[in-house]
Copies of this chain bind each other. A is one copy, B any other.
Amino acid sequence: MMAPLECATAAETAAVPKGAPLLKDELDIVIPTIRNLDFLEMWRPFFQPYHLIIVQDGDPSKTIKVPDGFDYDLYNRNDINKILGPKASCISFKDSACRCFGYMISKKKYIYTIDDDCFVAKDPTGKPQNALEQHIKNLLSPSTPFFFNTLYDPYRQGADFVRGYPFSLREGVPTAVSHGLWLNIPDYDAPTQLVKPVERNARFVDMVLTIPKGTLFPMCGMNLAFDRDLIGPAMYFGLMGDGQPIGRYDDMWAGWCIKVICDHLGLGVKTGLPYIFHSKASNPFVNLKKEYKGIFWQEEIIPFFQAVSLPKECTTVQKCYIELSKQVKEKLNKVDPYFDKLADAMVTWIEAWDELNQPKAEANGKK
């Protein structure tokens, strides 16, 4: 069904009836940016109850304006260097991959991350979509990665498991990741952007599904939520941008890593609703320059991830991730020496994560 190709106005969004905000004190919104955050005005009714973590990319002397009334912490490159010291090397610069610093510094159980060129989408009836609320619903209901349900999310009101769905699998598994979509400007690579400059996504698919175990997907970081406790340490957005041979693969890298780890640990990854309204296409020529190595590297990286096997001893996300870094070093450095550096950065990331996120008992001085 076709949704209108315009975003909701602030007034339309304000008029949506709202209940108490879900998980108010358990979720941070992470926004990477280089500009003033006027876009938050459009999200005010949905985001204002939550704490924001703003990761300022680029020149740290620039001041980022945040609309009044939002509760936030802002970290620029100087802050990141101060907090992480030499380990700051694992956080990308001049690339939205820097957002993963926000995942690390958060103390909450859940993260929602959104780009600053994303606005409130409407469904085909014109109703503004509360993307965050839908992500939370996705995260709080189980996933079904082991068998496909032809009516999609079986836990949704009005749906269920269909005939032939094994009863032993109907409890589902915990959901670690909720991947949302985009109306208007679709998330295309540079070649597709160049070939289809005017294509817009107006199709509103009213559906959430679990991506089956063993299946990889292209995870986009534009509109993404996850459970830090379940998968946080694997949500590393890699080395991109300044000084690196590649860009625009930060979320893809994280997507491949989280998927194989979720599959190994028996956790769920959902995709589908909610939509945001993606307002403007990035420059396809600039994108092509950032992407072109990724476009051929991925032809070898994806078979690598499809074949990854994690040993039984990997019982935590950290252990899985360290093991994955070893396999990256061993198997992908023949693709390019970059992967050697990336494998090291994966280890640094885990060290930094563990430093900032000590087990609660220890952090409290208890044992």
Interface residues of A, Cβ cutoff 8 Å to B: 1, 123-125, 147-152, 158-168, 179, 181, 186-189, 191-192, 196, 199-207, 211-220, 248-249, 251-252, 255, 271, 291, 295, 298-299, 302
Q: Are A196 and B299 in contact (CB under 8 A)?
A: no
Residues of B within 8 Å of A147, CB to CB, are 215-218, 302
Q: How far is the CA of A179 from the CA of B150 in the complex (A)?
A: 9
Q: Are B205 and A188 in contact (CB under 8 A)?
A: no
Q: Are B148 and A216 in contact (CB under 8 A)?
A: yes
Q: Are B164 and A298 in contact (CB under 8 A)?
A: yes
CB-contact partner of A162 in B187, B196, B291, under 8 A: B187
Q: Are B1 and A199 in contact (CB under 8 A)?
A: no
Q: How many of these chains are in the complex? A: 2
Query: Given A150-B217, A214-B215, A215-B215, A1 and B204 touching (CB < 8 A)?
Result: yes
Q: Are A252 and B163 in contact (CB under 8 A)?
A: yes
Top 7 A-B pairs, shortest CB-CB distance: A164-B218, A148-B217, A212-B215, A164-B252, A163-B189, A214-B214, A1-B1
Q: Are A249 and B164 in contact (CB under 8 A)?
A: yes
26 A–B contacts from the bound complex (CB under 8 Å): A1-B206, A147-B215, A147-B302, A148-B211, A149-B218, A150-B179, A150-B181, A150-B217, A151-B186, A158-B201, A160-B186, A160-B192, A162-B220, A163-B291, A164-B189, A164-B218, A164-B219, A164-B220, A164-B298, A165-B189, A166-B299, A167-B295, A204-B206, A205-B205, A211-B212, A214-B214
**Additional 13 contacts, C-beta under 8 A, given A160-B188, A162-B220, A167-B295:** A1-B123, A1-B124, A1-B204, A147-B215, A148-B218, A148-B271, A159-B201, A163-B220, A167-B191, A203-B206, A205-B206, A206-B206, A213-B215
